[in-house]
Amino acid sequence: MKGAAKFDALQRALETRSPRCAGDKRFMRDNLTPDAVSVLRRICWACPVYVQCREFAEAARPEDLGGIVWAGQVRTTRGREAVA
């Protein structure tokens, strides 16, 4: 249930703060280039809910994330992937 607790913390943070990725479909795309990931990472690192997002993404099962980029990391159903 660790992922559920982290999800709840993220939801509480989202009640008062808007994530920088809101509405940005680039965070959902597959096959991102290293340059695109670099841009998305900078967006994540400046986000007011970065910590909660990262903690949830690290605790959640990869197949439950529903996105590709979480907290500046590329995540797939296989887990976190390194992108140069």
Task: Give the pLDDT score at 12.
Answer: 97
Domain count, the chain: 1
* Most confidently predicted of 12-16, 57-61, 67-71, 79-83: 12-16
What distance in Å separates the CA atoms of residue 73 and residue 27, rounded to the nearest whole number?
10
Flag whether pLDDT at 64 surpasses 60.
Answer: yes
Long-range (24+ apart) CB contacts under 8 A made by 20-28 are 20/44, 20/46, 20/47, 20/48, 21/47, 21/69, 26/69, 27/67, 27/68, 27/69, 28/67, 28/68
Q: Is pLDDT at 63 greater than 50 in this prediction?
A: yes
Would you say 14 and 49 are in contact if contact means Cβ atoms under 8 Å apart?
A: yes
Query: What is the structure's pLDDT at 83?
Result: 47
- Domain range enclosing 36: 2-81
How much is the average pLDDT of 29-56? 92
Split at pLDDT 50, 70, 90, the class of 81 is low
